[in-house]
Structure 1
Amino acid sequence: METDDLAALAPRLPSPLEPVEDERFARRGLALLLKRDDLIHPDLPGNKWRKLVLNLRAAAGRPVLTFGGAYSNHLRATAAAGRLLGFPTIGVVRGDELAGRPLNPSLARCAADGMRLEFTDRATYRAKHEPAVLAAFLARAPEGTYAVPEGGSNALAAEGCAALGRELSGRADVAAVACGTGGTLAGLAAGFDGRALGVPVLRGGFLGGEVRALQAAAFGGPRGDWRLDERFHCGGYGRSNPELDLFVRDFEARHGLAIERLYVAKMLFALVSLAEEGAFAPGTRIAAVVTGAPDALPQDTA
């Protein structure tokens, strides 16, 4: 797949960087900026575009097989890319108990975009990165199928996300992003001339190792100044609490902007909390990366 093929999707790049007037930052001499990656493309928004773009070039029009849960944004973005660019897609979905049931709205959208869905048991899904397990999935796919990992996070994804850091260089001192699989942070930090902050939305303390491994694979070793703050997962993926719910409603009312709950809300919650803790020096320009828009579909909390 050539660059011109992907350009036909007309992504909005660089994505807008919008100043936000928020007294919780202003009274501490801080500037809050929203990096509106959610506006890159209606079907491949935010980090989905950045993670997929180099993988799609590597696939060069071959079928693409990838992985996700029953409400995976990554599966939907991959299926949409297949429809728009004319290549077959296969989605391996966690949970064989879903086979034979009516498709939920998210998976129905994938199917409508032409994605072939393959449901697998959770034990096999957890082992999907093992060579023998991946080989078995590929053996059932068309010859020459290109595999993309869950969430799209691999070395090419990190390289694609480095463009995000370059777009923010010289325009912000701190760039914050919510983290699921670590690919966006790995690339952001590599391309950014300031400090990158990752806010994990899952429990477990494993993301530091994932980011280091992705940077090693993509760039040959550590890149950039980055850290994680693991205090804001609010109980884990898809979980919330009354404090986070109140924060989201307040932020939306203040700024007239609907906030995506799974990722973006926790990152913004972290930034306000850190500002109140005095974690940023006066004069700091803080860019909050909006990696996705709110989705009316139910979310995957498995």
Structure 2
Amino acid sequence: MDCVTSDNPPGAADPAALRPALPSPLTELTDERFAERGLRLLLKRDDLIHPDLPGNKWRKLEPNLRAAAASGARTLLTFGGAYSNHLRATAAAGRLLGFGTIGVVRGDELADRPLNPSLARCAADGMRLRFVDRATYRRKAEPEVLASLAPPDAFVIPEGGSNAAAALGCTELGRELRGVADVVGVACGTGGTLAGLAAGLSAGQRAIGFPVLKGGFLETEILRLQNEAFGGRRGAWTLDDRFHGGGYAKTSPELEAFAADFASRHGIELERVYVAKMLYGLTTLAQEGAFAPGTRVVTVITGAP
């Protein structure tokens, strides 16, 4: 079922017109849970890159938007769940740059319900929403299914924006952290950010990804992305899948308590789907003694609440 929006705009602008704030700020926090272990805690504020395309959404979308403009496409088609930040960022990019946008949403049962705030924002930005059943959604990359969803002029961006172009775009995040980080923590949905981040770091640095979905599939996906983007595994990276809280967009009393305590300590509200889980994981690792004294621990803040 479709949610109808406005007609496609006549053309698309260069993504540079959005004037992202790069490199994103790096700020240090004093947190006793890290300080008592002799660790420094720094926040890489990618959430401040752009008000409508924050964090890894900008870094992954920008190369795809350039490719779409170069191809002459007038429409962007992409995929996501009911609370997808990627759908919101793609809709905003379409509005700002002059692309039409189509969002294929997982779950045809949602078509008969009022739009949640995330999908309502997509629709307000001009995105046409197509709700498909979950079995069809799982087959979204198959040519016959994709042909039924995408108009002839559409440029297709994968779920979460993660492809080889996105991984290449995220290498700049790693380069911005050369010389200022020993360990970098990042939340992982589809794996594109970690794939590029790790490739951009220098020798002696390492990245830890914190999956926000359960299932244990992400290592294979990150390796696939690195193979496509770089020809093989790049950088030192690992995954810690203990902090997904039960699955995507799910939370727990422990996570809520951690986020509330962090806001009380530092005056920073944490986005729950990604950022809070990552910071909860890094703080737990610090308290477990996973990092040597003197380690500079950088957390990538990929989105706002």
TM-score over 0.5 for the pair: yes
The CA distance in 2 between the partners of 1:247 and 1:102, in whole Å, is 31
- 1:241-268, CA deviations, whole angstroms, 9 ceiling, x for partnerless residues? 2222111111110001010011111111
- Alpha-carbon distance between aligned partners in 2 of 1:185 and 1:135, rounded to the nearest angstrom: 30
- Relative distance call for 1:231 and 1:104 in structure 2 (3 A) is closer
Structure 1 position 233, deviation (Å): 1.2
Q: Which amino acid aligns with 1:192?
A: L
Q: Residues 243, 108 of structure 1: CA spacing in aligned structure 2 closer, same or farther, 3 A cutoff? A: closer
Question: How far does the alpha carbon of each residue in 1:273-292 deviate from its partner, in whole angstroms, 9 at most, with x for none?
Answer: 11111110111101100000
Report the 3-state secondary structure (helix = DSSP H, G, I; strand = E; otherwise coil) of the residue aligned with 1:260.
coil
| Alignment partner, residue 22 of structure 1 | 31
* Alignment partner, residue 247 of structure 1: 258
Q: Distance in 2 between matches of 1:263 and 1:16?
A: 19
Shift, 1:131, TM fit: 2.3
1:46 aligns with 2:55: yes
Q: Matched residues in 2 for 1:230 and 1:103: separation?
A: 31
Distance 2:226 2:185 in 1: 18
1:33-69 Cα deviation digits (max 9, x unpaired): 0000000111001111011000000101531100111
Name which of 118, 130, 141 aligns with 2:142.
130
- What 5-or-longer segments of structure 1 have no aligned partner? 295-302
Q: Which of the residues 85, 96, 102 maps onto 2:114?
A: 102
Q: How does 1:54-69 map to 2 (within 5 A)?
A: 54-60=63-69, 61-69=73-81
CA distance in structure 1 between the aligned counterparts of 2:165 and 2:57, rounded to whole angstroms: 12
Name the amino acid aligned to 1:239. K
Question: Aligned pair 1:148/2:157, yes or no?
Answer: yes
Q: Deviations over 1:92-120 (max 9, x none)?
A: 11122222443332222212211111111
SS in 2 for 1:64: strand
CA distance in 2, matches of 1:102, 1:276: 43
Paired amino acid for 1:278 = G
Q: What one-letter code is carried by the residue in structure 2 that aligns with 1:72?
A: S
Q: TM-score if structure 1 supplies the norm length?
A: 0.92
Aligned partner of 1:12 among 21, 25, 36:
21
Unaligned 5+ segments in structure 2 are 1-12
Q: Is the 8 A contact 2:169 2:196 kept in 1?
A: yes
1:148-200 superposed Cα distances (whole Å, 9 cap, x missing partner):
11111111111111110011111101110011111110000000121011011
The structure 1 segments of at least 4 consecutive aligned residues displaced by more than 6 Å after TM superposition are none
Superposition CA RMSD, Å:
1.4
Candidates 202, 208, 228, aligned match of 1:217: 228
Match of 1:113 among 125, 150, 175: 125
1:276 aligned to 2:297?
Answer: no
* Partner in structure 2 of residue 298 of structure 1: none
Equivalent residue pairs, number: 289
Equivalent pair of 2:14/2:66 in contact (CA under 8 Å): no
* TM-score, normalised relative to structure 2: 0.92
Query: Quick one: which amino acid aligns to residue 152 of structure 1?
Result: G
| One-letter code aligned to 2:295 | T
Alignment match of 1:230 (pick from 241, 246, 252): 241
Q: Which amino acid aligns with 1:260?
A: E
Match of 1:71 in 2: 83
Determine what percentage of the aligned residue pairs are the same residue.
72
**Partner amino acid for 2:302?**
T
